[in-house]
Every structure is written in C-alpha cells, then in structure tokens.
C-alpha cells in the first residue's frame, strides 16, 4: 500500500461483502419461493424479498465501486485522498440509508408519508429521506475524489472513472421526478436504470478493468489508455440511444422500436471489446503477477460480461423478438448473468487484487478464492441456462399459445428446482470467497510444497 | 508512437483513431437502418412504392450535388492546411459549411412540404424510416458543420484531417440514403 488513505477502501469492501452475503441469501430464499409459492408469504412477501435482492445488489456494487475508487485513485493521482474523514462519513450515511430502506419495507413504517414512506418504484424504492441521503453521500464522494484527482496526476483511468461516477450521481437525480403519467414515469425511470448499467457503469467497469490490467499484466500504460478511450466511446455510442430498447411497449412513439433495436444491438460491441482487451493484455503482458485469483476474476468478468450482457442481451433486444419474450424468464436469465459477469465479478476482481495489499500481506488463499470463482461462475452459468430454457418454454406456452400465467408457472416448476440448486452453488461460492479474502493467514502457501494442505 | 518506423495497423490511419471508431460505428448504425428499411419494404412493396411517390427526388438530387461539392471543398481545405495556406484553408472550410447549410435548408423545405400534406412518421412505415434515417443524417450534417467550424477556429493539418474525415462520412451516408430511399 503506497498511500495511507487507500485503507478507506478496506471499510467499503467489508460492508460491500456483507451486503453481498445478504443479497445472495435473499436470492436463495426467492429461489425457493419459486419452488414453493407460499414460502414465507406472511413474513416477507415476494415483492419485498425481491426488492431486497436487487437493491442490496445495487448498493453493494456501488460500495465496491466507491471502494475501488478510493483504492486506485491515490495510486493513479499519486497523492493521498483529499479527506479521510469525509470518506468514512460517506460510508456511514450509506449504511444508515440502507438500513433505513430495509426497516421501512420489512415493517411498512410511515406508509404513505411523503418523506419516510416507501416509494415502490422498482430499484428506486428508497423513501425520500434515503434518496436525499444518497445524494449527500454522492456529493461528498465526488468532492473528495475530484479534489484528489484535480490536485494530483490525471490519467485516462481516473478521467473515465470520474466521468462514469459523475454520470451515475447526476442520473440518480431523476429518481426525485415521479410523473403521475405511468408512461412518462417509466421513461425517466430508465434514465437511471438503463443509463447506469448500460452507460455510466460500463465506464467504471472499463476503467477498473484497465487499472487491473495495468497492474497485473505490466502492459504499457499507453496501450491500456488507447483501449480504454475506445471502449468508453463505444459504450456511450451504443448505450445512450440503446435506452430505446426499453421504450418498445410503454407508450412512446413507434420509431423507438427501430432506434432501440439498432443501437442496443451494438451494445454487444463494447462488451466484446472489453473481453478482447483483457485477453490481449494478458497475452502481451510480460509480468507474472503472483495474484492469480485477481487475474482469474478479471478475465472471468470480461468473458461473462460479454455473454451475460452482450449475447444474452442481444438475444431479446430486437423488438420483433422482445414482443414475445418481454418480462419472461429470458429477462431473468439475462439479468443474472449480466450483473454477475459485468459488475459482481468486477468488484470481486478488484477486491481480490486490493485485499492482500490493504492488509499488507502476500496474496494468500488463492486456491480457495479461485475455487469460489468456479463455484459462483459455474452456478451462475447453469442458472442462466436453466432460466433461458424456462423462458423459452414460457414464451411459447404463454405468449404464443396464450395459456394463463400461473398455469404456465406450474409447468416451469422443474426449471425452478434446478435453478434453486444453482443458487446453492452461488451462495456457497460467495461464502467461500469472503472466507478466502478475510481469513487471516500467517504464512504464504506456495503451490507444490508437500506437507502443506493447499486449501 | 515515438518510433521512427512507418506506422502499422491502426496507427497507420490518418487523423485520430477515435474518429475512425466513430465513423465505423455510424456506418454500422446507418447500414442497419437501411437494411431494416429494405427488409420491411419486402413485406409491402406496393405501399412503399406508393409512399415513395410523395418524395421530391429532384430536391434530394440537388442536395446530393451540394453535399458532394461540400466534401470536395473540405478535401481541398486539407491540402491547403497541409501546405500552410491557412487563410485559404479557412475559406474552403467556410464554403464547405455554407453548402452544408444549403443542404439543411433544402431538407427543411422538403420536411415542410411533407408536413403540409399531413405526412408524419406514423402515416406509413416508409415515412417512419424516411424521417428517422434522413432526420438522423440531418443531425449529423449539423454536427459536421459545428466540427468544421471548430476545425477552422483551431486549424492544423491534423484537425483538418479529422474534421474532413467526419464530413466525408456524412457525405458517404447521404450517397447511400439517397438512392435507396428516394430512387429504388
């Protein structure tokens, strides 16, 4: 650790991983609700559990991004973070806000209250006071990081990272605008939901990936930066108008069907680019970095993001196809592999890379960490296949044959049982990962040394 | 970059790599749009032919000459910029921009005439594509004029090359749109 304030990242990563554990546990509960529809129906209704699953995902990924920024910006800018206190204050606000959302929803307190009541808009369900807290935390973060970068060295990695992070914060402001007209509501809603994951988050992803490639492969910064700018340009070119693929059936004019189909088809390009980037860097790289787990997660991230976000996204993005598949299990299949590949794996990659450095140790528990990669990636891939087949059957029975929704769900039961199995693998993988990065080790285990169990 | 050997691969491209990324992306988008247009036309050849009859092919033909001439001026501007004739280069860029404006005026008159006939993008699939593709192209003409203005302001051989590359792309797209939408 070259800079003392990089330590801030440790706190962020810990909270992020705690929420990750919560997220996948709730995911497992949801998986069982699909198998047995009345499971916990009185205690945690499906919609509340579903909200917890997606919101804790978004929050922990963001905490991971913040942690990554606090870790890599000092190294890139070659100076300490502007204010350590503010960084911890920001984390505290986010933790209180997250707890506030959970309590508000689980016990339905302050129902209907303008400031404290639940808002019930998917992904932006937070009560107003939490939304305000998020904005304050975002302002603190942007001030802190921007001041650090402005006073220090400016690199392509910090430029693109800041562009992405500023975009995330500015787009979140649309969550305060809630038109009574449902079509308009949805239109602005996608400004956040789509332009985050298919725009600004991709910039964050590309810059963190670039940082990891720079460190892990030892390829010249000049080469990495050229790739990074191209990837950022491709992401924005395809992603911004790609928003149109959410405007097919919400009451917006018909030309969105073509704009959405054409531009969102191109969204596969930046994801292919990131995969090509990661592999080319590793092939060209001369450095044999000891942190193999971080490298595995980086390559896994780029590859699974290409398949989850790119290929599975394209699968149902053309409006002629989406007319039939919209909102079926095909969407769930895409959502799971895209989020896992692009953003979960990215966070786990930077955590795998940063943790040994933050704790002042050599990379350790590599075998466990890599095992957790294969458990999670394998589980998630199998889950994606299961849900894709479920979605295909569902599309035919429900949308082509016109059978009732619940009748079709009964027929999908076997797929949901298999999906629950894959969920167990993912949860085990997550627990294993957290154990592998946190379990203190006294000595480094070297591969091939006999007598030492290579756990 | 600092090596003395002749540049290879993507480094051999004139101008800026980012401009070529943009140009290829634009060509993909317009190519996909035209492919979709032709595919939908197959489903309704009579309706498309009937709708096409309402277009003003003469105005579009004039616009083709205007835009290609404008591209020629941009190419001449690059040559002047490379030989250090800054004033002349700026004049030629100005001429290219003026012709770009002429293109937009003709385009505008075309849209006004359509609108007076009560034709909107909802009238027929043909007009959906007509408005979408030519409108999208017109936005690129506006962007191109802005880029040429910036190039004229901060003139250098490299900037002129990058600006002219974008302008030629706008040219090229029109030369593809014109026959497919207005004539075929």
Residue A442: pLDDT band (50, 70, 90) is: low
As a whole number of angstroms, the distance between CA B35 and CA B133 comes to 11
Given a cut of 80, is residue A455 above it in pLDDT? no
Given a cut of 70, is residue A448 above it in pLDDT? no
Average pLDDT, stretch A16-29?
A: 97
Which of these ranges, A144-148, A276-280, A313-317, A446-450, has the smallest mean pLDDT? Answer: A446-450
| Residue of A230, A234, A262 lying closest to B29 (CB–CB) | A262
Model confidence pLDDT, tens digit, residues A85-129: 999 999 999 999 999 999 999 998 888 888 999 888 888 989 999
Say if B62 falls within a structural domain.
Answer: yes
Q: Which of B23, B36, B127 to mutate to test the interface with A (most CBs of A within 10 A)?
A: B36
pTM (whole model) above 0.90 = yes
State residue A344's pLDDT score.
Answer: 98
Q: Which residues of B touch A237 (CB under 8 A)?
A: 22, 25
CB contact under 8 A, B22 and A237: yes
Average pLDDT, stretch A292-317?
A: 97
Q: Which residues of A touch B1 (CB under 8 A)?
A: 222
Residue with tokens 């591209």: B71
CB contact under 8 A, A254 and B28: no
Model confidence pLDDT, tens digit, residues A181-209: 999 999 999 999 999 999 999 999 999 99
Instruction: Tell me the residue range of the domain where B47 lies.
Output: 16-183
User: Is some CB atom of chain B closer than 8 A to the CB atom of A402?
Assistant: no
CB contact under 8 A, A261 and B28: no
State residue A334's pLDDT score.
Answer: 97
Q: Which residues of chain B have pLDDT under 50?
A: 1-3
Number of compact structural domains in chain B: 1
**CB-CB contact of A233 with A156 (8 Å):** no
Say if B8 falls within a structural domain.
Answer: no
- According to DSSP, residue A175 is labeled G
Given a cut of 60, is residue A222 above it in pLDDT? yes
CB atoms within 10 A of CB A405: 9
Write down the ipTM of this complex: 0.90
Here the CATH number for the domain that contains residue B60 is 1.20.120.80
Q: Which residues of A110-139 are buried (b: 16+ CB within 10 A; e: fewer)?
A: eeeeeeebbbeeebbbbbebbbebbbebbe
Domain ranges of chain A: 1-153
**CB-CB contact of B165 with B15 (8 Å):** yes
Say if B151 falls within a structural domain.
Answer: yes
State residue A112's pLDDT score.
Answer: 87
As a whole number of angstroms, the distance between CA A371 and CA A375 comes to 6
CB contact under 8 A, B33 and A258: yes
Given a cut of 50, is residue A452 above it in pLDDT? no
Please tell me the distance in Å from B36's CA to the nearest CA on chain A: 8
Given a cut of 70, is residue A454 above it in pLDDT? no
- According to DSSP, residue A402 is labeled -
Q: Which residues of B touch A321 (CB under 8 A)?
A: none
State residue B15's pLDDT score.
Answer: 82
State residue B10's pLDDT score.
Answer: 74
State residue A444's pLDDT score.
Answer: 55
Measured in degrees and rounded to the nearest 5, phi and psi for residue B85 equal -85, 75
Which residues have CB under 8 Å from A227's CB, separation 6+?
A210, A273, A277, A281
For residue A272, count CB atoms less than 10 angstroms from its CB and return exposed for 0-12, middle for 13-18, buried for 19 or more.
Answer: middle
User: Is some CB atom of chain B closer than 8 A to the CB atom of A321?
Assistant: no
Q: Can you tell me whether residue A266 is helix, strand or coil?
A: coil
**CB-CB contact of A382 with A425 (8 Å):** yes
Q: Can you tell me whether residue A112 is helix, strand or coil?
A: coil
**If we measure between CA atoms, which residue out of A33, A53, A47, A58 comes closest to residue A108?**
A47
Say if B161 falls within a structural domain.
Answer: yes
Q: Token pair of A432, please?
A: 């294993």
Please tell me the distance in Å from B29's CA to the nearest CA on chain A: 7
What's the mean per-residue pLDDT of chain A?
Answer: 94
State residue B1's pLDDT score.
Answer: 43
Say if B7 falls within a structural domain.
Answer: no
Given a cut of 80, is residue A364 above it in pLDDT? no
Say if B6 falls within a structural domain.
Answer: no
**CB-CB contact of A339 with A56 (8 Å):** no
């Amino acid at each position: 650790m070259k800079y003392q304030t990089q330590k801030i990242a440790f706190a962020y990563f810990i909270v992020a991983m705690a929420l990750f554990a919560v997220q996948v546990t709730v995911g497992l509960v949801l998986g069982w609700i699909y198998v047995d529809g009345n499971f916990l129906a009185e205690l945690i209704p499906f919609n509340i559990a579903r909200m917890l699953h997606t919101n804790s995902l978004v929050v922990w990924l963001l905490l991971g991004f913040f942690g990554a920024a606090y870790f890599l910006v000092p190294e890139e800018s070659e100076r300490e973070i502007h204010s350590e206190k503010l960084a911890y204050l920001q984390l505290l606000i986010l933790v209180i806000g997250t707890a506030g959302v959970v309590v508000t929803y689980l016990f339905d307190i302050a129902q209907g209250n303008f400031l404290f009541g639940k808002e019930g808009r998917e992904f932006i369900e937070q009560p107003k006071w939490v939304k305000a807290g998020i904005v304050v935390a975002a302002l603190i973060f942007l001030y802190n990081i921007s001041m650090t970068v402005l006073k220090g060295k400016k690199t392509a990695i910090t430029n693109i990272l800041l562009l992405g992070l500023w975009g995330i914060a500015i787009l979140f402001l649309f969550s305060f605008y809630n038109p009574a007209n449902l079509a308009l509501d949805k239109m602005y809603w996608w400004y956040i939901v789509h332009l985050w994951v298919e725009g600004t988050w991709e910039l964050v992803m590309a810059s963190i990936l670039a940082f990891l490639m720079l460190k892990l492969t030892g390829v010249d910064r000049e080469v990495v930066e050229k790739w990074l700018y191209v990837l950022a340009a491709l992401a924005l070119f395809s992603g911004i108008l790609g928003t149109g693929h959410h405007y097919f059936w919400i009451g917006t004019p018909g030309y969105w069907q073509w704009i959405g189909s054409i531009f969102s088809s191109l969204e596969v390009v930046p994801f292919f680019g990131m995969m090509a980037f990661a592999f080319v860097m590793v092939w060209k790289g001369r450095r044999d970095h000891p942190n193999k787990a971080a490298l595995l997660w980086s390559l896994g991230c780029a590859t699974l993001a290409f398949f989850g976000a790119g290929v599975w996204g394209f699968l149902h993005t053309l409006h002629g196809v989406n007319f039939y598949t919209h909102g079926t299990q095909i969407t769930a299949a895409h959502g799971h592999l895209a989020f896992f590949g692009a953003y979960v794996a990215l966070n786990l990659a930077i955590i795998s890379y940063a943790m040994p450095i933050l704790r002042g140790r050599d990379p350790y528990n590599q075998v466990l960490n890599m095992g957790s990669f294969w458990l999670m990636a394998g589980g998630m891939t199998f889950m994606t296949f299961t849900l894709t087949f479920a979605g295909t059957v569902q599309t035919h029975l429900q949308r082509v044959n016109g059978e009732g929704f619940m009748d079709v769900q009964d027929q999908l039961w076997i797929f949901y049982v298999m999906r629950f199995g894959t969920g167990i693998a993912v949860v085990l993988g997550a627990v294993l990962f957290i154990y592998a990065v946190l379990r203190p080790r006294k000595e480094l285990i070297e591969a091939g040394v006999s007598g030492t169990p290579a756990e | 970059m600092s090596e003395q050997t002749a540049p290879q691969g993507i480094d051999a491209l004139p101008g800026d790599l980012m401009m070529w990324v943009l140009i290829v992306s634009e060509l993909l988008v317009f190519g996909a749009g035209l492919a979709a247009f032709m595919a939908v036309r197959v489903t309704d050849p009579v309706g498309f032919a009937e709708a096409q009859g309402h277009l003003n092919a003469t105005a579009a033909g004039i616009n083709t000459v205007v835009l290609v001439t404008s591209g020629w001026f941009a190419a001449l501007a690059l040559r002047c910029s490379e030989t250090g004739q800054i004033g002349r280069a700026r004049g030629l860029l100005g001429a290219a921009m003026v012709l770009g404006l002429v293109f937009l005026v003709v385009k505008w008159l075309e849209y006004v005439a359509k609108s007076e006939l009560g034709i909107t993008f909802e009238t027929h699939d043909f007009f959906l594509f007509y408005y979408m593709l030519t409108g999208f192209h017109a936005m690129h003409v506006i962007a191109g004029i802005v880029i040429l203005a910036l190039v004229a302001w901060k003139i250098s051989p490299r900037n002129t090359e990058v600006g002219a590359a974008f302008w030629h792309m706008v040219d090229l797209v029109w030369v593809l749109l014109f026959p497919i939408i207005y004539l075929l």
